[in-house]
């Protein structure tokens, strides 16, 4: 299954891609201390990010950064699931920042996942969308505050 979210932020490309760091990651964490960062090594290939959720049936969510790139108009990195909840057996999340014009950028979250049962893939679609959809608003708020 695939979830793809595109968000326009009113901040220049360089400001947005350099803003992809631990501080932004903490800002994107769920409210009410529902999750805690156990380990955050960064966004370089081989780095590990490990979250512990305080919600039943989620537990730990651990990913490894597999690749990263930067060009004059695009920045991105890919994380792959090492330990993911909900019976997910394959997880790939592509994070992209693309220059739109001088004062704005696109942030693209492109998520692919699979479970052992196709019906479970469909059942998880809306809960996962619900987890990631709020990022659209968080990205806009975060980059509007930053440097303004």
Q: 82-128 pLDDT, tens per residue?
A: 999 989 999 999 999 999 999 999 999 999 999 999 999 999 999 99
Is the Cβ–Cβ distance between 131 and 5 less than 8 Å?
Answer: no
111-121 as b/e: b if 16+ CB within 10 A: bebbbeeeeeb
Is the Cβ–Cβ distance between 75 and 107 less than 8 Å?
Answer: no
32 phi-psi bin (left φ>0, alpha ψ -120 to 50, beta other): left
Query: In this predicted structure, what is the pLDDT of residue 37?
Result: 93
Query: In this predicted structure, what is the pLDDT of residue 56?
Result: 74
Alpha carbons 62 and 107: distance in angstroms, whole number: 22
* Closest to 81 (Cα-Cα) out of 55, 54, 58: 58
Q: Which fold has domain 2-145?
A: Alpha-D-Glucose-1,6-Bisphosphate; Chain A, domain 4 (3.30.530)
Query: In this predicted structure, what is the pLDDT of residue 146?
Result: 57
Alpha carbons 49 and 66: distance in angstroms, whole number: 12
Global pTM value: 0.92
Is the Cβ–Cβ distance between 114 and 90 less than 8 Å?
Answer: yes
Q: 10-38 pLDDT, tens per residue?
A: 999 999 999 999 999 999 988 777 889 99
Q: 60-90 pLDDT, tens per residue?
A: 899 999 999 999 999 999 999 999 998 999 9
Query: In this predicted structure, what is the pLDDT of residue 148?
Result: 44
């Amino acid at each position: 299954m695939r979830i793809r979210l595109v968000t326009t932020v009113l901040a220049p490309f360089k400001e947005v891609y350099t803003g992809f760091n631990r501080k932004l990651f903490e800002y994107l964490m769920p409210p009410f201390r529902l999750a805690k960062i156990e380990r955050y090594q960064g966004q370089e290939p081989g780095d590990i990010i490990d979250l512990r959720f305080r919600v039943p049936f989620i537990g730990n969510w651990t990913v490894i950064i597999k690749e990263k790139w930067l060009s004059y108009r695009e920045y991105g990195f890919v994380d792959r699931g090492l330990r993911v909840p909900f019976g997910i057996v394959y997880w790939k999340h592509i994070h992209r920042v693309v220059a739109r014009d001088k004062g704005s950028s696109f942030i693209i979250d492109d998520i692919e996942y699979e479970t052992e049962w196709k019906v479970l893939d469909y059942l998880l679609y809306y809960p996962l969308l619900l987890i990631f959809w709020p990022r659209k608003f968080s990205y806009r708020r975060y980059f509007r505050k930053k440097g303004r």
